């Protein structure tokens, strides 16, 4: 059950990494992003599609560019991750023994 959550978190981490690179190097294309991030182009393309669907980037003739929503996302990212970590810590504490081990 948790393997799916782990996979989803890894995918979100990749999307955030791609978005960060777009913000720092915009406008930027798939090939350049792939080289910079050492990721295959099909993974870059998928991340860009998801980021565009969510309004964080938009396509331009010169490559992907970040939208204002990208800055908003990064502004709240630390707090959002903290909230998720608190939820996970709560789950762990409900099932952990006195030494912090989950049976």
Give pLDDT, residue 101: 66
Alpha carbon of 3 to those of 6, 8, 9: distances in Å?
Answer: 5, 9, 10
- pLDDT tens across 2-15, in order? 899 999 999 999 99
Residue ranges covered by each domain of the chain: 2-95
2-95 has which fold? Arc Repressor Mutant, subunit A (1.10.10)
**47 near 18, Cβ under 8 Å?**
yes
Give pLDDT, residue 2: 82
Q: Which residue has the higher pLDDT, 41 or 102?
A: 41
- pLDDT tens across 26-76, in order? 999 999 999 999 999 999 999 999 999 999 999 999 999 999 999 999 999
22 contact partners, CB below 8 Å, separation of at least 6: 28, 33, 48, 51, 57, 64, 65, 66, 70
Residue from 42, 68, 72 nearest 14 by CA: 42
């Amino acid at each position: 059950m948790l393997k799916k959550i782990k996979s989803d978190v890894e995918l979100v981490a990749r999307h955030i990494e791609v978005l960060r690179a777009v913000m720092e190097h915009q406008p930027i294309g798939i090939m350049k992003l792939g080289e910079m991030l050492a990721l295959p182009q099909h993974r870059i393309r998928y991340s860009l599609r998801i980021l565009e669907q969510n309004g964080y980037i938009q396509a331009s003739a010169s490559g992907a560019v970040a939208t204002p929503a990208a800055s908003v996302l990064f502004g709240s990212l630390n707090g959002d991750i903290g909230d998720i970590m608190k939820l996970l810590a709560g789950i762990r504490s409900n099932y952990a023994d006195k030494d912090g081990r989950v049976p």
